[in-house]
């Protein structure tokens, strides 16, 4: 933060405007507890490992399909992307639930 007499940075001014706008719209912020921070870190770690596992399985499948029909490889890619998006969405939902205090 800037000193009492020092001019504020553009970032500080922007943050003040955003806080004022949120307050006008009734949006409140709360500080996360250490337990909530730990729970969020655990959820992220778990889902990052699940996504990494899917990437490894996908790479192995693609190596086995070398020279296969392009339509088949495209289908394997599509399934991988869909699974990766599902896991990321599930992770984000759980993190948001913890942030709201529901989790």
Please report, for the chain, the start and end positions of each structural domain, with discontinuous segments joined by +.
32-100
12-39 pLDDT tens trace: 888 888 888 878 887 777 788 999 999 9
pTM above threshold 0.85: no
> Which residue did the predictor score with more confidence, 25 or 61?
61
- Do 77 and 55 form a contact (C-beta atoms < 8 A)? no
The pLDDT of residue 3 is: 58
Percent of the chain whose pLDDT exceeds 70: 94
- Measured CA to CA, the distance from residue 52 to residue 14 in angstroms comes to 37
């Amino acid at each position: 933060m800037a000193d009492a007499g020092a001019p504020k940075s553009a970032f500080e001014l922007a943050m003040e405007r955003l806080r004022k706008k949120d307050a006008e719209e009734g949006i409140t912020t709360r500080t996360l507890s250490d337990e909530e921070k730990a729970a969020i870190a655990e959820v992220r770690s778990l889902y990052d490992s699940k996504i990494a596992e899917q990437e490894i399985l996908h790479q192995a499948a693609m190596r086995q399909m070398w020279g296969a029909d392009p339509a088949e490889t495209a289908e394997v890619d599509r399934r991988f992307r869909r699974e990766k998006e599902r896991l990321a969405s599930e992770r984000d939902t759980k993190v948001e639930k913890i942030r709201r205090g529901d989790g």
